Amino acid sequence: MIEKSIYENYEIGFSDEITPTSDDCIFIFNQERELFLDENRELPNSLGDFDVEFCLYIGKFNDKKTFVANVKSDESFYPLHEVYKFNKDLYLMGGKAVLVRDWYISHQFCGRCATKTQLDEKDMMLKCPSCGQNHYPRIAPAIIVAIRKGDELLMAKHSYHDNIRYALIAGFVEPGESIEEAVHREVSEEVGVKVKNLKYMRSQSWPFPNSLMLAFTAEYDSGDIKVDGDEILKAKWFKKEEIIRYESDVSISDWLVQDFIDNAN
């Protein structure tokens, strides 16, 4: 997991009136949310011959004017998970860029009245000239929790994970509930136990596709493990030496598992 702040290399900005020059850098994405890089696996400074759908100025990255563009292309680019392996700074900024790209694509028309939206003069916001609805970039808050019982960690086998044997309990925050309530609900729904002594640890932007992950630890309180057999196939308690680590440390989930291993008796 990346420990540094995005703002070490990035300065916020936004405009559709600034166009890139040869000294700038451009995050070019295809329809699969994959990032185009040159032969040196670096950002291009031009749009080349791509069929460009849009190009937006999104601030400064490494002191260079920076843009995000979406192009029509059948070429295969670099998935952000792969970018993380060889350039973590590029991955971090790419996560910002792809979220802006997704927002702009998704709100070209007003979700309330279907009128074509317009960019605001100041903010990163699309506004409806008909009904006045404002459309800001949206993120989906989600919790993830490492549940401990003595020297054991609760992990579950999810039906949607093909390449991960066991993972931590996680889920999206529902309307009307707090993040703490989301932890208790998700744990109860997924594995049937109750937890106590919740402790917030840290957060992570997770652009797959648009989450803000909020990480907790918790202690087992009561109940027997009971899975639904649909979303969760299996769940059990692991001692630290029994845990099989994830293939990548890109996620806050891996950080929580490592924190457990480092602090387990």
In a domain, 121, yes or no: no
C-alpha closest to that of 248 among 145, 163, 127: 163
Q: Give the whole-angstrom CA distance, residue 250 versus residue 177.
A: 28
In a domain, 131, yes or no: no
Could you list the residue range(s) of the whole structural domain that residue 90 is in? Answer: 6-106
- The CATH number for 98's domain is 3.90.79.20
In a domain, 24, yes or no: yes
Mean pLDDT for the chain overall: 95
In a domain, 41, yes or no: yes
Residue 112, token pair as written in the block: 């309330």
Q: Give the whole-angstrom CA distance, residue 259 versus residue 31.
A: 37
**Domains in the chain: how many in total?**
2
In a domain, 128, yes or no: no
- The CATH number for 207's domain is 3.90.79.10
pLDDT in tens, 90-100: 999 999 999 99
Phi, psi of 118 (to 5 degrees): -130, 145
In a domain, 185, yes or no: yes
**Residue found under tokens 């490492």:** 146
- Percent of all residues in the chain with a pLDDT value above 90, rounded to a whole number: 89
Give the range among 73-77, 89-93, 162-166 with minimum mean pLDDT: 162-166
Phi, psi of 181 (to 5 degrees): -65, -35
Residue 185: its H or E element: helix 179-191
Residue 166, token pair as written in the block: 């066991």
Per-residue confidence (pLDDT) for residue 134, from 0 to 100: 97
In a domain, 95, yes or no: yes
Q: Give the whole-angstrom CA distance, residue 225 versus residue 236.
A: 7
**Final residue in a domain of this structure, among 59, 89, 106:** 106
pLDDT in tens, 27-42: 999 999 999 999 999 9
Per-residue confidence (pLDDT) for residue 35, from 0 to 100: 98
